[in-house]
Amino acid sequence: MGLATIIENEAHFQTEMANAGTKLVVVDFTATWCPPCQRIAPFFEQLPAKFPRAVFLKVDVDRCAETASAQGISAMPTFTRIDRLQGADPGSLEAKVRQYYGTDEAADEDSAVAGHMDLVTFITKSECECLNEADDHPLMHALNNGGGYLASDCDEQLIINITFNQVVKLHSLKIKAPADKGPKTLKLFINQPRTLDFDQAAGNTSVQELELTPSDLEGNPVPLKFVKFQNVQNIQIFIKDNQSGGEVTLVNHLAFYGSPICTTNMGEFKRVAGKKGESH
């Protein structure tokens, strides 16, 4: 039966985060003098057994004041890496963990790109956005494999803004989408100060333009011009049209493969803290 790891200091926290790799990490910022923290503690200790592919860490904010400060913790209990969840509500906590944990089927799926990792755990989802997404089918559905799908609203175009919690190198994209309604023409932009509007996306020069085929939409890796994606803090994808020329574009799953720049200050990795792939 798995147990939550009790963090001893900032160096220990950094080591555990690095060792987790692409696994989901859930961090409980707690305090011995906090009654709600003590009430939810037994429930938190049960979660490693329920979610064995995830990593669970406990951080005492008094013992590890440096870590708590770096994560911007101001109330206890606070759970990070699953968005930022405050309060001692077991139902909300388990629902968030389940949301980002994914299914066994998704975990077993062969999704590897040789020499590179799925960067979902490095995406700061709270800072991502999508222009022209349908209210009931937003971007977040496509960032979780098997979690629904992204659909355009007023017409076929979409602008997707993905922010990473540290600088990464991007090697390739993986897109799963219907052969008729999936994206066709993409323009990629990196390190923009703000989300482009549709006129800017159409008129500005992109770092790379892709023309996808139906086979590309089966989840096969779509290589990028790797040399141009060596220092990426955010990437924006302008989906210009879809395969059939219809008014609705659908994306079942969108993934980014590459690697974090290991020399990046780990303070950034944690500051955005939340759980892997989420953060705040």
Q: Are 54 and 23 in contact (CB under 8 A)?
A: yes
Closest CA to 146 of 83, 216, 99: 99
Largest CA distance in the chain: 60
Rg (CA), the chain: 19
Q: For residue 128, indicate whether it is catalytic.
A: no
DSSP 111: -
8 Å CB contact between 42 and 84: no
Point out the catalytic residue in the list 37, 64, 128, 130. Answer: 37
Indicate if the alpha-carbon torsion angle 260, 264, 266, 267 is positive or negative. negative
Find residue 86's DSSP bridge partners.
78
Interior angle at CA 276, CA 165 and CA 222, nearest 5: 70
- Whether the Cβ atoms of residue 152 and residue 184 lie closer than 8 Å to each other: no
Residue of 192, 201, 204, 190 lying closest to 258 (CA atoms)? 190
Q: Is 34 a catalytic residue?
A: yes
Catalytic residues: 34, 37
